Structure 1
Amino acid sequence: MKDTPGWASPGSAPSDGQEPGASGPAGPTDRPGPAEPADQPGSAPQDTPDPQGPGPQWSKQQPPPGQWSAPADPAGSGRPAPPPPPRSPGWGTQPPPGPAGHGPGGFQAHGTPGYPAWGGGWGGPPPAAKPGVIPLRPLGVGEILDGAVSTMRTYWRTVLGISLTVAVVTEVLVILLQGLVLNDTSTAALNDPSATASELTRAMGEAMLSSGAVFLISLIATVAATALLTTVTSRAVLGRPVTTGEAWRDARPQVVKLFGLILLLPLMAVTIIFVGALPGILVAVFGNTEGGVALAVLGGLAAGVVALWLMIRFSLASPALMLEKQGVVKSMIRSAKLVRGSWWRVLGIQLLAGIIANIISAIVVVPFTFLAAALGGEGVVGFLNGEGNNLGWTFLIISGIGSVIGSMITFPINAGVTVLLYIDQRIRREALDLELARAAGVQGYGADAGSGG
């Protein structure tokens, strides 16, 4: 497959004047030939003849200078070839066509084998069609980010409805989990220098359970938002709006498969990391504790690198599953094929989008967090010092409102970048821009692009 779609690069625009390398009549058809009398009764006065004398195929009365120039003399009759016509700086207006197989004025068309081409200074291919939020060609990093933001800005009602729904459901689950379950866990031993090893192990396990549960809910929400916003972004590429109901109807047949994919990907990552740390854990339990901990950390880090590599390979599985109606395994294989050879590019774009989205979200979330700490009983100073392990409902609710607002920003950006990155990879590898142009009703785009190979 080619890395770029095969649109044609047309020739340069003709300049004003006669195309060289022409065959057929060597003079203008509206002038009298040699057999015709130059002056007929009632006819208009003719121009002054060429002082050098016309050739045998030319009329005695030549047109005024500057209207057209004599064609090249391939037969070698001795007449000097005319100077080349001026080059056109870009795309010009095509002159009226001549007879079949010939260019303007009855002469052979530009690009005829054996004849020189002229006007080679063309200004590059014409701009790609842009029926929606992105141009239909391989995209740059800025265009992917701009397309995600343009989708959010243009179709804000639909995007806001989806993002708000997912964010509210997610935050309600997190608040209930933290307020009813995780508040009973104690992590004070992590800050106690005199804590025993068993207390530290227990506290670390509870902290990991708390963080893992919140992370899992957030991950499910992120992928779910990506799935629902996939339809919105794919329609935005074509310049067509979509309602929240239409997006749900399009995503509903794939919901079961989607949740299978959502559960499989983090489970795969956790399993890989656990297997990498397992030898160190066994050594720590049955032998040297310090050596086992060091081995577990090193094994976990190495396994984490492998897990990251696989997660980026499968990062386009969600849009592949939703747009191509694939199964879980097939969508993962599809994602791996699209990412192959572009792993670092996909990682960089997704990492950049995540950093930008999280910075914007933090601008909103941090003030709500400090407000929640000020009203939550411990005060801002106590919150910063880690005083008070139990989070009150006031703190959870106020900080949850800030998290909902932040999620309404991060969900569309992350989802839009993932979908547009998937579309970009398909444009580069499969010329998806031709299908998108036809679906958007762009006239002649597929024919022109396809002729270039």
Structure 2
Amino acid sequence: MNDSPGWASPGSAPSDEPDRGTEEQPTPAADADGPAAEQPSPPNWSKEQPPAGQWSSPGIPGQSGPAGGATRARAGSIPHQGGWYGQPAGGPPMWGAGWSPAPQAAKPGVIPLRPLGVGEILDGAASTMRAHWRTVLGISLIVAAVSQTLVTVVSGLWFQGTGRKAAPDGSSTPALRQAMRDMADTLAGSAVTSLIGLLATLVATGLLTMVTSRAVLGRSVTVAQAWQDARGQLLRLLGLLILYPLMIFAIAAAGLAPGIILMATGTPEAGLLLMVFGGLAATVVSVWLAVRYSLASPALMLEKQGVIASMRRSAKLVRGSWWRVLGIQLLSFVLVALVESIIQIPATLIAFVLDGQSLMDWANGTADSAGWTFLIAMGIGAVISSALTFPISAGVTALLYMDQRIRREALDLELARAAGLPGYGTDTTSAAAPGAPTDTSGDPTPGS
């Protein structure tokens, strides 16, 4: 049975029951040697019966009914949450003419409270930026500016004086040793800048997830409130973001190790072939695990869970929807890459012009090391692109998490109660599940 709730036709009978329409009942045949079988006596109906209900097709006034007279619409339709609109009072739902259109889902915030489509998830992330642009852009700009300033300073100091030119002829340092030293310096600098970027992603994801959770309920949030809601989980989120690269590295090492060992033992052809197949297998497993645990971050932030518990939660929500989650995450990645390229390509060209370097020299590997002007121009472009892409990636992931919970756990009902919509119970304290976390104002979070 599918874990997600399905869409059943209203009033349809179960598949193992016969049709309950009016059918002509066969009359028992009389026995050849005796009278006909005794029939059960009909119930004693009251002599004063109300007239049978009559229906008319909507929008066609004056239409004649079966009895030749003008028909009238039967009153008493039942408009209720979770029910079927246009159904007659006190009777089963009727198909055909006379049905009212299905009501639109409630939308207290940036998304309608129902299962979402791909476009609605992307639009919800963009709507969060538009509706709460001061908070969203404030968080993104602060995080991006601080992180890119650190990256620019580290890059300028770490790689200062290390050019891309090869060692001149007659140098006392062998070319291979110099190449290994330059590679080690590059890897060390990249590790430092990657750690800074990881911390920036950590803070931005945690804060923007809280902003998105409030935006779903139609409530505003300040930077201080988002920080207060998120700071208790940032260390756990750091552990989660560190565990991801370690897991991918371990899988890649396990896939490539047999080929490397075989090449070291003196059979390079077989070792290279084994490395190729091992690398492909490691890539497939890594992608599968990355999608499986892609919703762990919002689960950790909104449900206040630990690292391992949030990964298990993500695996449960993704189960049965792996391809759908992969497609949405890929679309989000392509959108983020497109925005980054639109900003970074002009920033790179401006950096080359201001620094006085040639693109051809840079492509041929004969250019000098990047100067401060080049690094500052590139850093400004990175700040602008990060300020726009942080909300997209964090918003899509948070809304995809909520969509999966709506499909599997009817989270839309809890969100409607938390938003105070009529008909769902306006008491916000009863909207959260027992033990669910609440924010500082006492409102339950969508992770309840």
Q: Using structure 2 for the length normalisation, give the TM-score.
A: 0.72
Count, aligned residues: 373
1:433 corresponds to which residue? 412
In structure 2, distance between residues paired with 1:286 and 1:186:
37
Pick one of 85, 106, 131 that aligns with 2:71. 85
Partner of 2:362, secondary structure, is helix
In structure 2, distance between residues paired with 1:435 and 1:386:
59
The answer to whether structure 1 residue 365 and structure 2 residue 351 are counterparts is no
**5+ residue gaps in structure 2?**
13-45, 52-60, 79-86, 167-173, 427-448
Partner of 1:160, secondary structure, is helix
Q: Give the 3 Å change call, closer, same or farther, for CA 283–384 of structure 1 in structure 2.
A: same
In structure 2, distance between residues paired with 1:84 and 1:339:
55
In structure 2, distance between residues paired with 1:176 and 1:23:
95
Matches within 5 A, 1:52-451: 81=67, 85=71, 110=89, 112=91, 117=94, 120-182=97-159, 211=190, 213-289=192-268, 291-388=270-367, 390-445=369-424
Question: Shift in Å at residue 317 of structure 1?
Answer: 0.6
Q: Give the 3 Å change call, closer, same or farther, for CA 117–317 of structure 1 in structure 2.
A: closer
In structure 2, distance between residues paired with 1:424 and 1:343:
14
Q: Give the 3 Å change call, closer, same or farther, for CA 271–425 of structure 1 in structure 2.
A: same
In structure 1, distance between residues paired with 2:157 and 2:177:
25
Question: Shift in Å at residue 416 of structure 1?
Answer: 0.3
In structure 2, distance between residues paired with 1:123 and 1:209:
66
1:63 corresponds to which residue? none
Question: Shift in Å at residue 383 of structure 1?
Answer: 3.3
In structure 1, distance between residues paired with 2:178 and 2:267:
19
In structure 2, distance between residues paired with 1:201 and 1:299:
26
Q: Give the 3 Å change call, closer, same or farther, for CA 307–161 of structure 1 in structure 2.
A: same
Question: Shift in Å at residue 363 of structure 1?
Answer: 1.1
In structure 1, distance between residues paired with 2:95 and 2:246:
63
In structure 2, distance between residues paired with 1:297 and 1:353:
29
Partner of 2:108, secondary structure, is coil
**5+ residue gaps in structure 1?**
12-21, 28-65, 71-79, 97-107, 190-194, 448-453
Partner of 1:239, secondary structure, is coil
In structure 2, distance between residues paired with 1:445 and 1:8:
23
Contact 2:109 2:219 in 1 (8 A): yes
Q: Using structure 1 for the length normalisation, give the TM-score.
A: 0.71
> Cα deviation per residue 1:359-378 (whole Å; 9 max; x = unaligned)?
12211121111111112232
> Cα deviation per residue 1:199-238 (whole Å; 9 max; x = unaligned)?
7777666655555554454344334311110110000000
Higher-Rg member (1/2)? 1
What RMSD over aligned residues (CA atoms) do the two structures have, in Å? Answer: 3.9
Question: Shift in Å at residue 94 of structure 1?
Answer: 5.6
